[in-house]
Amino acid sequence: MKNTVLVVDDEILIRKSLSRVLREKGYLVEGASTGAEGLEKVESVRPQVIILDMRLPDTDGLSVLRKVRQMDSLVQVIVITAYGDVQSAVEAMKLGACDFLRKPYEKEDIEMAVEAAARTFRQANELDLYRRKEKRRYTGEEIIGTSGPMKEVRDLIEKVVRSQATSVFITGESGTGKELVARAIHYRSDRAQAPLMEVNCSSFQETLLENELFGHERGAFTDAGDLKKGLVELCDGGTLFLDEVADMSMPTQAKLLRFIDYRNFKRVGGAEDISVDIRIVAASNKDLESDIRTGRFRSDLYFRLKVVSIHLPPLNERGDDVLLLARHFLREFSRQFQKDFRDITPDAARLMLSYRWPGNVRELRNLIERVVLLEDGRQLELDHLPAEVAGRRLASDHSIALPTLAQIEADHIAEVLRLAAGNKSRAARVLGISRQGLIEKLRRSRLLDEGGGRQVS
């Protein structure tokens, strides 16, 4: 991966000569002629090294340096000072510049300074990623669950992270943990040192998503402004997580497909092919197959995305995982809110196991957060559960037996027969079936059977 150097200097000749020298050394070079433009570029191109002149037309170099430090704590800044201006060189070093050069400087000086700065950046970056990774492990982004389907999910993740570029497609209802799995794939793979970039395809309009993913050249379209690198480029070496991929427009799908096939792309309005090495993880809570049938999603793209697919079952199909998760969240929020919740009473546990959890793990997590925040005690009790969990119990809770479809049909037939005063021909007409059909149903549901079972009242 090439490092990018941003040269902030109002003199075009200096920018040009520095560009030439650094390009020869294999750097990508961007220029800015004012402090304001420089700050914009820090945001849009995310350089690793900045060469900053202390004297700028719109502002002084020190205040630019201060802002740069706030925006990006890792970027390395080399300041250029006028001959004899020791004071601002000292100030700049205090503010975190990595080096300074006095005018006039030699070509070799600048090459050495940039080389050292790029090296420092790489080390600082690695350290920073390592710390963040440690922190994440420490805060425990674990995937909880020992049920059969979750074991399968974990097995698949383990296999997938052994490969570097295999695309993964994650499906599952809202709140089942798709994002969690995508993060696990990134952070447990050898790509963990490089960035994970996430984009929600449903939150961008058509062309904006393409722009977000692939970036654009300076002035590629009205309002395009300066060059902007897209996420695909920024996460080189890492993982791109395309959330809600079903909402991607057809033109963007075509561009993504091309990218997957060739592993390179052009920025919007650009001519140069840019190659990057990334893994794509896509997720959807919708059934893409029906979008494919109706022509809203390309099947060729679908098959490239789902080289491996991981399905996350709804929470109520994971058995006792509900309680494992609930205890996990109890601990998490007890720590956070300094409470002492440790377990769940058997009554509450029974209800939680029989509830349908339409919002899946997210709903459970939110519920536990609310309980731990609002209630006190050591155990989560029946009374702590909200009405929707405590109220409508479902089939697996044997204290309330729900009717089967056959029972509902039999009850309905009995009711119609009663209204028709037992006249089977009239009842059959009302039910929209033949008289013979009605008799058949009556026999099957044993309504005709005098010996026992249900009787028509």
Ligand X SMILES: Nc1ncnc2c1ncn2[C@@H]1O[C@H](COP(=O)(O)OP(=O)(O)OP(=O)(O)O)[C@@H](O)[C@H]1O
For the chain, give me the number of helices (H) and strands (E)?
19, 16
Segment lying near Mg ion (by CB under 5 A), choices 34-42, 176-184, 302-310, 357-365: 176-184
Residue 179 found at the interface with ligand X (CB under 6 A) = yes
> How many angstroms separate the CA atoms of 445 and 97, rounded?
85
- How many C-beta atoms surround the C-beta of residue 251 within 10 A? 12
Longest dimension (CA), the chain: 113
Segment lying near Mg ion (by CB under 5 A), choices 33-41, 117-125, 178-186, 413-421: 178-186
Q: Render 177-233 in DSSP notation, one character per residue.
A: SHHHHHHHHHHHSGGGGS-EEEEEGGGS-HHHHHHHHHEE-TTSSTT--S-EE-HHH
Residue 172 interacts, among ligand X, Mg ion, none and using kind-specific CB cut-offs from 5 to 8 Å, with ligand X
Alpha-carbon distance values, 20 to 23, 28, 106, 107 (Å): 5, 10, 14, 11
- Which residue from 332, 358, 328 is spatially nearest to 344, judged by alpha carbons? 328
- In the complex with ligand X, which residue's Cβ is closer, 47 or 145? 145
User: What is the smallest separation between the CB atom of 62 and ligand X, expressed in angstroms?
Assistant: 43
- In the complex with Mg ion, which residue's Cβ is closer, 183 or 255? 183
**One residue of 145, 195, 215, 313 binding ligand X per CB under 6 A:** 145
Contacts with ligand X in 365-404 (CB under 6 A)? 365
Contact residues for 169 (Cβ-Cβ < 8 A; gap 6+): 281, 282, 283, 284, 302, 305, 306, 307, 308, 309, 310
**One residue of 59, 166, 249, 285 binding ligand X per CB under 6 A:** 285
User: What is the smallest separation between the CB atom of 285 and ligand X, expressed in angstroms?
Assistant: 4
**One residue of 31, 175, 215, 238 binding ligand X per CB under 6 A:** 175
Residue 280 one-letter amino acid: I
Residue 381 found at the interface with Mg ion (CB under 5 A) = no
Alpha-carbon distance values, 352 to 120, 356, 367, 376, 389 (Å): 53, 9, 11, 19, 7
Residue 3 found at the interface with ligand X (CB under 6 A) = no
Question: How many residues at the interface with Mg ion, by CB under 5 A?
Answer: 1
User: What is the smallest separation between the CB atom of 178 and Mg ion, expressed in angstroms?
Assistant: 5
Determine if the peptide bond prior to 104 is cis (ω within 30°). Answer: yes
Residue 143 found at the interface with ligand X (CB under 6 A) = yes
- In the complex with ligand X, which residue's Cβ is closer, 21 or 323? 323
Segment lying near ligand X (by CB under 6 A), choices 105-113, 169-177, 206-214, 378-386: 169-177
Query: Token pair for residue 122?
Result: 């790489």
User: What is the smallest separation between the CB atom of 300 and ligand X, expressed in angstroms?
Assistant: 25
**One residue of 40, 111, 115, 179 binding Mg ion per CB under 5 A:** 179
Q: Is 331 exposed, middle or buried (0-12, 13-18, 19+ CB in 10 A)?
A: middle
Tell whether the torsion through CA atoms of 417, 420, 423 and 427 is positive or negative.
negative
Segment lying near ligand X (by CB under 6 A), choices 74-82, 154-162, 171-179, 273-281: 171-179
Question: How many residues at the interface with ligand X, by CB under 6 A?
Answer: 16
Residue 178 found at the interface with ligand X (CB under 6 A) = yes
Segment lying near ligand X (by CB under 6 A), choices 33-41, 123-131, 138-146, 274-282: 138-146
User: What is the smallest separation between the CB atom of 231 and ligand X, expressed in angstroms?
Assistant: 18
Contact 33, 15 (CB under 8 A): yes
Residue ranges that bind Mg ion, judged by CB under 5 A: 179
Residue ranges that bind ligand X, judged by CB under 6 A: 143-145, 172, 174-180, 285, 325, 361-362, 365
